[in-house]
Amino acid sequence: MPKNLKLEIFSEIGTLRGVILHPPGQEVENMTPDNAQRALYSDILNLSVAREEYRQFEQVLQKVTQVHYVKNMLATILEDDNLKIELVEQVCKNDNVPELRNSLADLPANELARVLIEGFPLPLNLLSNFLSDERYALQPLHNFFFMRDASLGIWNNAVVSRMATKVRQRETILMNLIFTHAFNTPIINPAKKISASAKNSFEGGDILVLSPEIILIGIGKRTTPDGVDFIVQELAARNPGKFRIIVQELPESPESFIHLDMAFTMLSADQCMVYAPLILEHNRFQTISISVENGKVSRIKKEEHILAALKKYGMQVHPVFCGGQTDRWIQEREQWHSGTNFFTIAPGKVIGYARNTHTIDELHKNGFEVVKANDFITNEKALDAYGNCVITLEGSELARGGGGARCMSMPFLRDAL
């Protein structure tokens, strides 16, 4: 497979030119109340409804950018028998299922790509298997439609995440394969440099690339300070110039604060969506800046909050308030359902859930035209014909999975600002 895809991510808002998606599939249906917590869900989703809602999301993106599907990319790569055997060995070792080596290796490329995501049923050839409470020998990747977490682009580097939970580690193996064989780009992969017992983890939902000089990273349940140190070291080795990492501490509960993009996302060059009680109000969660020069950390200091730090470093950004500005309960409710988790497809043009009505109203007050996803899809108007706008998805079921439009996308190419 030719390595012909370019990766360049120098902002959160540059016009989107390429994105990787994975529509929720049978792996979401392969979940029960008993195993939902192990799969990192607080509830089980209705797949048919989630698929319909997701279809809106992908049709909006198909209208504005180049869309690649992770399952198709995997199937193409796995047509190479040597790569197929190599991946099977890696997956069997990671998931501790050496007995599946031959069964997986014998599958055609398309079927193997499917099974690696949807799971491999437990063979009923042993009494212990027949009596087991498990249905799968190779567990489904229930969270894989949240493509942002397992990998990301930072500048011209493809970064493979180091997931905080073992149940999601296979996702990074699959994304590393795609970056290695479909992209022409340097790869940062902590699995090749960090011991399995180390505590440094980081996930893409916690990392926002604002410019060639500024990156935001949240630390909490999924991304650790050691994980940030690893990212800093790797970027410093690749960038001899000056840049800053702004770190935001996150609450470990409730689970809606799982990643930084559940409290802060960029909307345009001078506007951001914030959950104000965490990002702007006085609280115990620190904001810290790390300055890097000539390949080394030159200074670490505490900041007032993210927006104050950005202003200090040359970015004047005005907040739009998740849930509005007046009612704390409404802010909490809409943050819970990904009310800050917007995906920017061009400066001032964003995608988010319609269910967060107070947040959408707040965007409208701040100059964003509200456009229903179905209207955008069927309208012949191109994206450039709109001013600042928010394209609203029907996301009642998807939101119950714990993520929004940014979580469900892995952009790999944006225009420079």
Spans of all domains in the chain: 16-76+140-414
Instruction: Residue count of the chain, please give it.
Output: 417
Q: Are 16 and 347 in contact (CB under 8 A)?
A: no
Residue 274: left (phi > 0), alpha (psi -120 to 50), or beta? Answer: beta
Q: Are strands 271-274 and 187-188 parallel, antiparallel or unpaired?
A: unpaired
DSSP 398: G
Burial 289-298 (b: 16+ CB within 10 A, else e): bbebeeeeee
The first and second tokens of residue 361, run together, are 């109203």
**pLDDT score of 34:** 61
In CATH terms, the fold of domain 16-76+140-414 is: L-arginine/glycine Amidinotransferase; Chain A (3.75.10)
DSSP 267: E
pLDDT tens sequence for the chain (417 residues):
557 999 999 999 999 999 999 999 998 887 666 654 554 455 678 889 999 999 999 999 999 999 999 999 999 999 999 999 999 999 999 999 999 999 999 999 999 999 999 999 998 777 777 677 788 999 999 999 999 999 999 999 999 999 999 989 999 999 999 999 999 999 999 998 877 667 799 999 999 999 999 999 999 999 999 999 999 999 999 988 999 999 999 998 888 899 999 999 999 999 999 999 999 998 999 999 999 999 999 999 999 999 999 999 999 999 999 999 989 999 999 999 999 999 999 999 999 999 999 999 999 999 999 999 999 999 999 999 999 999 999 988 888 888 999 999 999 999 999
**For the whole model, what pTM was predicted?**
0.95
**pLDDT score of 199:** 79
**pLDDT score of 255:** 81
In degrees and rounded to multiples of 5, residue 179 shows phi and psi of: -60, -40
The first and second tokens of residue 312, run together, are 């200090």
389 bridge partner residues: 349, 369
Q: Which amino acid is at 263?
A: A
Beta-strand runs (E) in 307-367: 318-321, 343-346, 349-353
Residue 282: left (phi > 0), alpha (psi -120 to 50), or beta? Answer: beta
Strand order in the sheet with 264-268: 264-268, 271-274, 318-321
Q: What is the rounded distance in angstroms from the CA atom of residue 74 to the CA atom of residue 182?
A: 9
